[in-house]
Amino acid sequence: MNEFEESLLSRIEISGRRVLVTGGAGFIGSHLVDRVVEEADEIVVLDNLSTGRMENLTAASQKMGFRFVQGDLLDLRVIKKALNGCEIVFHLAANPEVRIGIEDPEVDFQQNLVATRNVLEAMRLSSTAKHLVFASTSTVYGEATVLPTPEGYGPMVPISLYGASKLGCEALVMAYCHMFDLTAVIYRFANIVGSRSRHGVIFDLIRKLRVDPTELELLGDGSQNKSYLLVDDCVDAFLHGLRHEGGRLEVFNVGSEDRVDVKRIAQVVIDAMELKNTRWRFTGGVDGRGWRGDVKEMQLDTTKIKALGWKPKHNSPEAITEAARSILDERH
């Protein structure tokens, strides 16, 4: 057994390592940074601040070993410089909004596929950065006929450019691992919600109700039924899977064990805002969807990562409620 094969059998620990987090000023990324900065010897956050915010890093930036680099993943030179000396890469930077691809297909191609290729290429050229943790999505499955959907489900037929680009990113990660002796953990996330989120159904509903509390527009027909996971549970899974994987490449579904529909989410938000007599207006959408490319039903089979000892602390309704309260407490 050679040195590389032996390293695959050992658990990945963050303690004492230099870590790079792309998209670390964003919603999920900043929560991950808050956790990793307590353990890593040094953490480098790379973000172009197009959607991320420095205020999300207020606490982490006060810690020893924290360093922020403002730069774009479309510039390979920026990544190579930020990556210098790092051993583990958490790659979260991406276009965060599925609907953008309808108006500008180039966004998903550039910010997801090209950016991920650049991260992988920088790792290939690095002498130290050989382990990747990649944030993927449930949308790679498309409209799965098996619910909950396991990691081995196929064929995958994404119905959005976002899902297609993320599936392409996964393929690149897998190929680089096998060709260039990298190791990787890929997480396919359900809908992640919580504080610092500035997109998604909860944020959108709150924004609309702040403008007009008497009427709430709901995209689609309200029957869209999906799994929601609190960001704290998401970060727990990020780190748990990393520490318990032992192969060249692992893929984990991460989500809650139930689903909620848009109507229930709307009621949770209305209750959290203590509103009365708010009228609902449904747009009808595309075949009941909120927009073209919106998956109507989604729930992931998380048996694989639960077998390693992780499970969500909150179900979907609890996650929605906690997220609504957190977002309402924040200033936007």
- pLDDT tens digit string along 11-22? 678 988 999 999
Q: Please state whether 26 falls in left (phi above 0), alpha (psi between -120 and 50) or beta.
A: beta
Q: CA 33, CA 24: separation in Å to the nearest integer?
A: 6
Check: CB of residue 137 under 8 Å from CB of residue 168. no
pLDDT at 8 over 50: no
AA identity, residue 148: P
Q: What angle do CA 291, 49, 331 make, to 5 degrees?
A: 75
Domains and their CATH numbers in the chain: 3-191+230-254 (3.40.50.720)
* Chain-centre distance for alpha carbon 145: 23
- Identify the pLDDT of residue 102: 81
* Alpha carbons 20 and 12: distance in angstroms, whole number: 15
Catalytic residue among 153, 162, 187, 228: 162
- pLDDT at residue 241 is higher than 90: no
Is the pLDDT at 218 greater than 50? The verdict is yes
Tell me the C-alpha distance between 325 and 273, whole Å: 8
pLDDT at 272 > cutoff 70:
yes
**pLDDT for the residue numbered 74:** 98
* Active-site residue flag, 162: yes
Q: Which uninterrupted H or E stretch holds 185?
A: strand 183-189
**What is the model's pLDDT at position 230?**
98
What confidence tier does 322 reach under pLDDT thresholds 50, 70, 90?
Answer: very high
Encode 226-264: b = buried (16+ Cβ within 10 Å), e = exposed.
bbbbbbbbbbbbbbbbbebbeeebbbbbbbbbebbbbbe
Average pLDDT over the chain, rounded to an integer: 93
Given this model, what pLDDT does residue 82 score?
98
pLDDT score of 112: 97
* Local confidence band at 96 (pLDDT 50, 70, 90 cut-offs): confident
> Which percentage of the chain shows pLDDT scores above 90?
88
